[in-house]
Amino acid sequence: VKTTKNKIYILVIVIVLVVSLTAGLAYFLYSKNQDRGGLYAVVTVDGEEYERIDLSRVGEPYDRTIETEWGYNILHVENGSISVTDADCTGHDCVEMGTLTSPGYLIVCLPHRMVITIESEGEE
């Protein structure tokens, strides 16, 4: 009786190990694919795409000025993230919106009709 019980325990442990290893591997491959897919910051002004910045291939961080008839916004671009560090809009909402690092978040500058969103190629 004892031997059978031990065998069942070993079997359960093996199954748990295999399942968690498979899940871990699947997650690892999934996140690897996400990384390879690339991350883009898409800047739109007045509803039109103004600029597309590849955030997955940024070496040294740099600043990019977006200047339109409504004003300017200074974007700080780093590997995997983008933020607005300065602008001549009223309220500075866009500056206070912080840093974008993943899809689903956005920075809006209403007075300048500017929207920054993050897109990931791996999601499609």
Binding site for Zn ion (CB under 5 A): 87, 89, 94, 109
The DSSP call for residue 98 is -
For 113, phi and psi rounded to 5 degrees? 55, 35
Q: How far is the CB of 78 from Zn ion (least distance, A)?
A: 20
Provide the β-strand partners of residue 78. 81
- When computed from its CA atoms, the radius of gyration of the chain, rounded to whole angstroms, is 23
Measured from the CB atom, the residue of 58 and 113 that comes closer to Zn ion is: 113
Considering the complex, what minimum distance in angstroms separates the CB of residue 23 from Zn ion?
43
Which residue number, 39 or 89, has a Cβ lying nearer to Zn ion? 89
Provide the minimum distance between the beta carbon of 67 and Zn ion in the complex, in angstroms, as a whole number. 13
